[in-house]
Amino acid sequence: MSASQPALLVVDDNETNRYTLIMRLQRDGYSDIEEAEDGLRALEMLKIRRFDLVLLDITMPELNGYDVLQKIKSDMDLRDIPVIMISAEDRMESVVRCIELGAEDYLPKPFNAVLLKARVGACLEKKRLKDQELIYHQRIEDESRRADELLHAMLPQAAVHELKHQNTMAPRRFENIAVMFCDVVNFTPYCDLHRPEEVLFHLQALVSCFEELSDEHGLEKIKTVGDAYMTTAGMFRETRDPVLASVRCGLQMASSALELAAGWQVRVGIHSGPVVAGIVGRRQYMFDIWGDTVNTAARIVAAADPGAVVVSGATWLHLRDHCRGRSLGFVPIKGKENLELIECEGLK
């Protein structure tokens, strides 16, 4: 409904009555007025155009005002349009019937100019407020949907569900989780030599590709840190073999990255074990995981060669029946004794 020019429909089989009513409405400042000579024509016009108010005569041939009102109020697309019934018949039974059928108001003929102006104005104001309320509700729904989309983009689905229903997510410990890091080789020099828009464009393509692969293999994206992409397997999504799923995904990430426009090489590091998970922050939520398993996986990826998928010796025990591997020997890992690393060269 337009605040300045509401659309009115006058329905009456008598041309003189229509002319008189339209002239009075125009004197009250309403200029967007259409007319229908019978009920059938009125219903046709209501299907074509949205009106803000219908002024409907009762006594008409073929389809009287009661029938038209009943059809308007039973049509889910039209039922919210307010209707003022107009009739020379002022019997109480007629007024009651109109109100029971859903009419907004009832005006007797001949028209009282002051009463007509007041009731038309009141109906349109009520319609305006109702339309405004619907707009507000739609905005709230849109904002809620956008908030859900944002939460799902930042947090795992299970975490979102718990956060929405309990307003928090209890921190917890998970056992036997595969943690995988994948980062771009020589990303920092690339940033120094290319425009920011180009860097972001290619990084977005890479992350989008990795998100699809993670979902395909049943992994859960945790976050990106600079050019490093971090996932887990076996935490919230049920995965029969989290380590093997991570290796399969890592091998595909390494080959897919080369096929993208930037042609970046990536390296992948995987370690398995217990992690602690939870949500930090109040104004800006972030889901994260912590523990020795996470630290070890991050340091393994730093020791991997370009294009390689590398796992710890302990993690290799889960893979030896499924993968071909090559030992890289015992490599010094910060915070640990020398750790044997195995490069997964492919699936058996």
Average pLDDT, the chain: 89
**For the chain, domain boundaries:** 8-141, 168-347
Per-residue pLDDT tens digits for 151-194: 666 666 667 777 777 766 778 899 999 999 999 999 999 999 99
Distance CA 210, CA 192 (A): 24
Check residue 111 and give its pLDDT. Answer: 79
The pLDDT value given to residue 4: 67
User: In the structure encoding, which two tokens stand for residue 162, read together?
Assistant: 């718990």
Percent of the chain exceeding pLDDT 90 equals: 63
Q: Tell me whether domains 8-141 and 168-347 share a fold.
A: no
The CB-based long-range contact list for 289-294 (8 Å cut-off, 24+ gap) reads 289/177, 289/179, 289/222, 289/232, 289/235, 293/177, 293/179, 294/179
Instruction: In whole angstroms, give the CA distance from residue 82 to residue 55.
Output: 9
Per-residue pLDDT reduced to its tens digit, 36-57 = 999 999 999 999 999 999 999 9
Which CATH class for the 168-347 domain?
alpha beta
Question: Which of 83-97, 175-189, 249-263 has the weakest average pLDDT?
Answer: 83-97
Tens-digit pLDDT profile for residues 325-341: 999 999 888 877 789 99
CA neighbours within 13 Å on the CB side: how many for 47?
9
CA distance 189 to 146: 36
- Taking a C-beta distance cutoff of 8 angstroms, is the pair 32, 124 a contact? no
**How many C-alpha atoms does 140 have within 13 Å on its Cβ side?**
6
Superfamily (CATH) of domain 8-141? Response regulator (3.40.50.2300)
- What global pTM score does this model have? 0.61
